[in-house]
Amino acid sequence: MSTPPPAGSEPDHPDQRREDQPSADQRREDQRREDQPSEGQPPEGQPSEGQPSADQPPPEAQSPHETQLPPRGQPHVYPAPQGYPAQGYPPPEGYPAQGYPPPQSYPQQGYSAQGYPPEGYPSGSYPPPQGPAGGAEYPNYPAGYPGYQDAGVEPPENDPLVPAGFGGWFERVLGVVRRSWRTLLIFQAVLAVLSAIYSALAASFSRNMTALSGALGPGFDPNAGAPPDLVAAVVTAGVIALIGWGVLCLVVAFLAPASVFVVIRDAEGQPAPLGEALRFGASRMPAMIGWGLLAWILTSIGFVLLIIPGIYLSIVFGAALIGVVAVERTGIGRCFALVNPRFWPTAGRLVFYFLVVLVYYFIASFIASAIGGGPLSTTTGIVQAILLIPLGIAGVGVTVVTYAELRFRENGVVTTPALAAELAR
């Protein structure tokens, strides 16, 4: 039997067509063989692998542009899209369900494995913050003091303590006065009473010194010596005035941390009871006395040495010492780390406040002297201390807002909630 021509070809001659067609007996034999399935063939009705089913057209009838479907009952395996790893699809466990490989906006090294850094974090590598002990409600509490110096992050517009510039600094100082004036008025009233007492003692000492100088002036007889009663009065007044100055310094060291506590808690919207504020001030009082005394000695030495070092130290300690001791619980070395990177903006703010103090103090002294009948009278000292109470309240606001600005410029996540969390440690 000759080999039939390939499908689609036509025989060249009719005789050749008749010779190529099988006989009837041969067709019946082929049909019988097809009806008996051989070993390993699938049952009738199910096509074998590589053969088309009854409802599937033969391969030669399909268009060459149509996609070859898999046999019935087998899953369709799509090829991996371009850009996916060669080991297969879907992506490995741990990657997002869509968008594999990860886009360029995914966090790089240095961020937490959970995802993007929290809102407000400075750009670059930064470790995720950790909540303080007992302060889990503050997720932005900073861990340590990373080396950001003026990170360039703008503070939140609604933060009550952290300003964005000089105008914001002035507004936030006034905000401190509006929020916390009641408690701060109590503290400043105590300081005013003690200041008035100290002023009276200092005035008594000055009067006795003036009398002693007059007694030792022209006509003084060295052989007779100084009047004993006058010398005793001068010594007594001097000792009492010195004790009064010491008591005043102790009270300042006690009330300064308490004032910082009240201002930060009020700014955060938390209650700031007077008793809790006083307990906080008492806990920070020993450190405030030690570091404050050291800062005073260094500043005094600086003024003796050509004045400029004293001005520099006054700015550094005036801007950061109370906040460093009360909030961070560290020493004066931390003040230099905070102020030096932003020395001139900080100096500008404190110089502005100093000029306001100078003008206000001159006016208050003039009024007090007019009421008291002279600069050295006890009445003058009392009136002057009362008139200086608003200046003291504003001074607390200047101290806290300036310190909060320095902390934020060093580390862009330190805002009012973070400062309140540090107080709760």
pLDDT tens, position by position, for the chain (425 residues)?
445 555 544 445 444 444 455 566 666 676 666 655 555 455 554 554 445 454 555 544 444 444 455 556 555 555 555 555 544 455 556 555 554 454 444 444 444 434 444 444 444 433 434 434 334 444 444 444 444 445 567 888 889 999 988 999 999 999 999 999 999 999 999 999 998 888 888 888 888 788 777 777 676 666 666 677 778 888 888 898 899 999 999 999 999 999 999 999 999 999 999 999 999 999 999 999 999 999 999 999 999 988 999 999 999 999 999 999 999 999 999 999 999 999 999 999 999 999 999 999 999 999 998 888 777 677 888 889 999 999 999 999 999 999 999 999 999 899 999 999 999 88
**pLDDT at residue 253, rounded to an integer:** 96
SS3 (DSSP) at 424: coil
Of 396, 379, 368, nearest to 261 (Cα)? 396
Range 241-249 contact pairs with CB under 8 angstroms and sequence separation of 24 or more: 241/198, 241/201, 241/202, 241/204, 241/205, 244/194, 244/197, 244/198, 244/201, 244/202, 245/198, 247/194, 247/198, 248/191, 248/194, 248/195, 248/198, 249/289, 249/292
Of 424, 203, 422, 253, nearest to 327 (Cα)? 422
- Give the Cα separation of 407 and 268 in Å (integer): 16
**pLDDT at residue 289, rounded to an integer:** 96
* Max CA separation in the chain (angstroms): 170
- Give the Cα separation of 407 and 403 in Å (integer): 6
Q: What DSSP letter does each residue of 61-126 carry, written as one string?
A: GS-TTSPPPPPTTS---PPPPTTS-TT-SSPPTTS-SSSSSPPTTS--TTS-TTSSPPTTPPSS--
**pLDDT at residue 139, rounded to an integer:** 46
pTM for the full model?
Answer: 0.64
**pLDDT at residue 117, rounded to an integer:** 44
Convert 55-83 to b/e letters by CB count within 10 Å (16 or more is b). eeeeeeeeeeeeeeeeeeeeeeeeeeeee
SS3 (DSSP) at 233: helix
Q: Which residues, 6 or more positions from 48, have their beta carbon under 8 angstroms from its beta carbon?
A: 41, 42
Q: What DSSP letter does each residue of 344-368 carry, written as one string?
A: HHHHHHHHHHHHHHHHHHHHHHHHH
Convert 106-129 to b/e letters by CB count within 10 Å (16 or more is b). eeeeebeeeeebeeebeeeebeeb
- DSSP H/E element including 330: none
**pLDDT at residue 145, rounded to an integer:** 46
Of 253, 263, 258, nearest to 397 (Cα)? 263
Of 204, 223, 379, 372, nearest to 212 (Cα)? 204
- Token match 């404190």: residue? 350
